[in-house]
């Protein structure tokens, strides 16, 4: 888990550094950090009811994300309405980082 943890921290810092470097050129850089999401990739995890229940119990919202909920975070950052947002990481994880 250590490699996973520090790779997430590195991605957050890379996002901040790239945002600062590219902002003068009108390029915004932000990141979305999804929590455990019901996708084909994670199906071996969530398809087991016992494991899915255990993982959901560790998420303050009490469930895994649906793909559309992650897409919503990306769509929030994409339009001109968010054109003064850069260098931020949004975690669509049901509050898992708050625990």
Query: How far is it, in rounded angstroms, from Cα 73 to Cα 88?
Result: 12
- The gap from C-alpha 38 to its chain's centroid, in whole angstroms, comes to 14
Catalytic residue, candidates 4, 6, 25, 91: 4
The residues near 97 (Cβ < 8 Å, ≥ 6 apart) are: 91
Looking at 23-89, list the stretches that DSSP marks H as alpha helix, in order from N- to C-terminal side.
43-46, 49-57, 67-77
Rounded to whole angstroms, the maximal C-alpha distance in the chain is: 50
Is 91 one of the annotated active-site residues of the chain? no
Which are the catalytic amino acids?
4
């Amino acid at each position: 888990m250590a490699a996973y943890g520090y790779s997430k921290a590195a991605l957050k810092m890379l996002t901040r550094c790239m945002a600062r470097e590219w902002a003068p050129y009108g390029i915004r850089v932000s990141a979305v950090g999804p929590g455990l999401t019901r996708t084909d990739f994670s199906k071996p995890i969530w398809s087991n009811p016992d494991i899915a229940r255990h993982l959901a119990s560790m998420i303050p919202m009490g469930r895994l994300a649906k793909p559309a909920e992650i897409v919503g975070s990306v769509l929030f950052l994409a339009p001109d309405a968010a054109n003064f947002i850069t260098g931020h990481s949004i975690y669509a994880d049901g509050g898992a980082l708050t625990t």
